[in-house]
Structure 1
């Protein structure tokens, strides 16, 4: 009887996710908010709470996180990561300062303590690669000149996750400074070792994993990933970081083949992960944190736009391209929920989960809108201001004063198509 109830519940969840994904695809927006809402409907305090399948959903959610990070690693080569780190690190530092600090400040202002502040900083910092890649494709901007700037920021965020997640894991586990330092040293050492091996011996690693039989390739890659993730978690590093490093170590045809084979599995278990997060969030707990979530969403939407604008200006992109870069980075999604999920599991602050849910729901919906409309709205405001300045300019000219040329202060570089982009825009999807 128990197995029958489990099959009915789990089958209903998967069917509902499929229908929701189809609905989102028809209207060309991310299904993440629908998955979260489904979790809220079937979780604690929801319309139809589940019981028999919750433990299996929890395991599926953990696999979902592992696959998300594995697929992320498969999209980059180690040399790409090292190159981005060397050339684009100033943009990464600005991104961290502009977007992590508001989350940390909000947690401290609400009296949640330093650990929750570090967690909420990560929630507000990391953009959604899946949503952004889909939006860039839908808007036909993959070849735009500002797109490599967007991708570089996203790559740096991924690299930062390899350092950030072990820190969070250690803080949530309540270990001391010495043990936390050892955990971080292990994580950094493992990341450095994997990058070195991937650069020097990546072909040999890929040749060992490679197989002409898709079934064998899938089993080897999936088994290796889960094994390494489990070892990493046992060392208090982070299962997600272990999966990310496995993805980086694989390259060439093996990475491409594994990507195509694992993509349906990732989408399935990632959807289960979002549902699981919603299951553990009481819908009644969201209204009390809705106003702080909305305020935080407004502030960090503006800071992400400022980040993209600054990075694009540094790359000598035209003014329109700067606004497009900023607007494209606003969406938060999968990794914000991953970070919040770690805190919810640890039970450090009961209001953090509902706030993160509301925050992601707002920005995963607003993100595609800012990507589409930030640049035209900014240009319209600029023209309106220029018209307002016209009488003052006429008076200045009549007085014999010649203003400085606008281009001297804000050089505009003609937009051109980029010759190539990172795999993140072409391969990521949500």
Structure 2
């Protein structure tokens, strides 16, 4: 008889039960994650009616691999480019909500007489919302094209990044058992250092490597290479003292910036589904039904805290960020649940053995309850807003509307702030790279040759090579001109001359510090002092060569970072307006009854108030189509309107075709942007037509906000006044030039 390893038997049992349960959950239109958790409960020793798995240790290893693959996939969806595009509104919303829930969760745990560590982990767990649940609910309720959805998606991106930071901090607290601010500051600094180093080096090398190896790549090799890179970064993260999940997330986010990012995400999806299923089944295996009964009241209390706290925390953050009351209520009631990252943080507590046995099943139970309530809360958000609008004082409503409008306008940034910001970025990036080079040379390269022959020459050779590699970054740190045009302009003003000189002096001192640090780590003190002077002379005499080298390095990085955008010509196409006007996109069904009709005949603007600002037809893009433009099958229409207008348009498309209209993301170089007419603006006193805004931006003025009144689809003969806020749909680059 052939012996079958117990691991294979256990995996067969897990996958068979998971398959049956998830099919049932799919039929009931419930999240598959909950199905996996139920399957884990059924195959665990805590449930006696079914056979149980016996090889727990190997299943735990598979579950750890599942966490790594899940975080790698989340990184592929995350992308630092998305983080840059999120904007202040979603960032403030997410951070306020996270701070509120960490504090509220900790306070709740303490009031229930839990340990300090349980309370801290509870706060972190409750601060994370579920991307999977929200996406499913938004799809089912057809609200992806609503204005508040953009705020929610942006907040989820910020939550993903904060979750990574929390995992590092919680690991530090768990190991040290101390809550000293200095230790946490060191942990955050170490995390930021490695994030910058890995991201900069990853963007510089990996896209180039994938481009060079493109000829050799098929789907199979691309998958193997991607997972190989993932586990290499997992190893590096472990060596640096971080969790493996952090390394997986970072590599995913780096690969997301490459032109192969979407393909890699597609190839990794089946692997993620397999190992993710094992992970969530392992989550269910930790649930003891008797524990749930014993802690029924804490479960109900934590559930209420989650729903009420996350709703009001998100609302508060959205209002502070300048979102209107309606979108704040909708965003708050959308994020009132916990999900994937909550499980991962809870698993971290179990792995580190710092949380009590009851916390994990409580978290799972709360997640299950809030998952079921999420769609109902999203549906109820608009009626709740209508109720609040009637009950709140009119003065408060007007103040909130005014605050929202004021915070959402384009504001000019002073040249001084631009120069300081660019200088800080330059100093941080170069400092991280120089520190990384120094650490690699002194801690890894130098010890490898320490016991070899020619001991006096080896350190000198290593030092020379290290200085050669570091010299472009030393030059950039100390000498490179930052924002030269703005700097020259500021130098002509006596007010900024001395501060600029101080900034330059600080940069030179920092560069000198790094030269000294590198030499001191590799050479004796006396030799290092002499070498310091020599290095300074060499860098001074090779100024132009170093400039060329650094410029090439910088251009390579920028080219790799923007490679995906250049290939896809991808830009965000929806910027949000205070009165709920925003951009959405729809694909026309081939059986749409109005195919062949001109826009003039349809009278969409007159009937529904919407504006079609772009039509994408195959490989052709029609910017601001004329009224005699006809519609064709599978045209992608980019439409601007309010939530209600866009919903009316969607229903109109659905009524005139058999297939449901598909909402797609905007991927063209057009956006809806806000601009304030300044006192000295050339537009003051001119009509919209005479201002030539349409010609200069290849755009259209779709709205004006004036003295608290809102004018949608203004006439071309309307005269522009000082302090008017114009809403223009047009070419991104031209809009930026116009704003300047």
Q: Please tell me the TM-score bracket, short chain as reference.
A: 0.7 to 0.9
Q: How does 1:71-220 map to 2 (within 5 A)?
A: 71-84=73-86, 88-174=90-176, 183-197=187-201, 203-204=207-208, 206-207=210-211, 212-220=217-225
In the alignment, structure 1 residue 21 sits paired with structure 2 residue 22: yes
- CA distance in structure 1 between the aligned counterparts of 2:117 and 2:253, rounded to whole angstroms: 29
- CA distance in structure 2 between the aligned counterparts of 1:147 and 1:205, rounded to whole angstroms: 36
- CA distance in structure 1 between the aligned counterparts of 2:306 and 2:69, rounded to whole angstroms: 28
- CA distance in structure 2 between the aligned counterparts of 1:205 and 1:169, rounded to whole angstroms: 34
Over residues 275-308 of structure 1, what are the superposed CA-to-partner deviations in whole Å (9 max), with x where a residue is unaligned?
1122123221112222112111112212222233
The counterpart of 1:248, out of the listed 248, 253, 256, is 253
- CA distance in structure 1 between the aligned counterparts of 2:129 and 2:115, rounded to whole angstroms: 24
In the alignment, structure 1 residue 418 sits paired with structure 2 residue 605: no
Kept after mapping to 2: 8 A contact 1:169/1:236:
no
- CA distance in structure 2 between the aligned counterparts of 1:208 and 1:282, rounded to whole angstroms: 52
- CA distance in structure 1 between the aligned counterparts of 2:400 and 2:86, rounded to whole angstroms: 26
Kept after mapping to 2: 8 A contact 1:39/1:276:
yes
Per the alignment, residue 312 of structure 2 pairs with 306
Farther off after superposition, 266-275 or 345-354: 345-354
Aligned positions, number: 405
In the alignment, structure 1 residue 375 sits paired with structure 2 residue 379: no
- CA distance in structure 1 between the aligned counterparts of 2:117 and 2:274, rounded to whole angstroms: 31
Kept after mapping to 2: 8 A contact 1:209/1:254:
no
Kept after mapping to 2: 8 A contact 1:229/1:240:
yes
Over residues 389-424 of structure 1, what are the superposed CA-to-partner deviations in whole Å (9 max), with x where a residue is unaligned?
9xxxxxxxxxxxxx966752443944334358xxxx
Kept after mapping to 1: 8 A contact 2:325/2:385:
no
Per the alignment, residue 275 of structure 1 pairs with 281
Farther off after superposition, 223-232 or 119-128: 223-232
Kept after mapping to 1: 8 A contact 2:89/2:323:
no
Over residues 204-244 of structure 1, what are the superposed CA-to-partner deviations in whole Å (9 max), with x where a residue is unaligned?
36536756301111111112212322332343311111111
Kept after mapping to 1: 8 A contact 2:324/2:400:
no
Distance 1:404 1:75, change over 3 A: closer
- CA distance in structure 2 between the aligned counterparts of 1:164 and 1:415, rounded to whole angstroms: 34
Distance 1:189 1:209, change over 3 A: farther
Give the 3-state SS of the residue equivalent to 2:311 in structure 1.
helix
Kept after mapping to 2: 8 A contact 1:165/1:237:
no
The counterpart of 1:225, out of the listed 226, 230, 251, is 230
- CA distance in structure 1 between the aligned counterparts of 2:303 and 2:291, rounded to whole angstroms: 18
- CA distance in structure 1 between the aligned counterparts of 2:106 and 2:241, rounded to whole angstroms: 23
Stretches of structure 1 lacking an aligned partner (at least 5 in a row): 390-402
Q: Once the 2 structures are TM-superposed, how far is the Cα of residue 184 of structure 1 from its aligned partner?
A: 4.3
Q: Once the 2 structures are TM-superposed, how far is the Cα of residue 245 of structure 1 from its aligned partner?
A: 0.5
Distance 1:253 1:53, change over 3 A: farther
Two-structure CA RMSD over aligned residues (Å): 3.0
TM-score, normalised on structure 1? 0.84
Q: Which has the larger helix fraction?
A: 1
Q: Once the 2 structures are TM-superposed, how far is the Cα of residue 180 of structure 1 from its aligned partner?
A: 6.8
TM-score, normalised on structure 2? 0.50
Distance 1:311 1:111, change over 3 A: closer
Give the 3-state SS of the residue equivalent to 2:260 in structure 1.
helix
Farther off after superposition, 196-205 or 276-285: 196-205
- CA distance in structure 1 between the aligned counterparts of 2:202 and 2:313, rounded to whole angstroms: 31
- CA distance in structure 2 between the aligned counterparts of 1:269 and 1:94, rounded to whole angstroms: 33
Over residues 179-199 of structure 1, what are the superposed CA-to-partner deviations in whole Å (9 max), with x where a residue is unaligned?
776554432211122343466
Q: How does 1:271-350 map to 2 (within 5 A)?
A: 271-314=277-320, 317-348=323-354, 349-350=356-357
Kept after mapping to 1: 8 A contact 2:71/2:248:
yes
Over residues 78-100 of structure 1, what are the superposed CA-to-partner deviations in whole Å (9 max), with x where a residue is unaligned?
23324437664322331112212
Q: Which has the larger strand fraction?
A: 2
In the alignment, structure 1 residue 239 sits paired with structure 2 residue 239: no
Over residues 293-332 of structure 1, what are the superposed CA-to-partner deviations in whole Å (9 max), with x where a residue is unaligned?
2111112212222233334445655544332211211121
Per the alignment, residue 361 of structure 1 pairs with 368
Stretches of structure 2 lacking an aligned partner (at least 5 in a row): 405-577, 586-663, 666-740
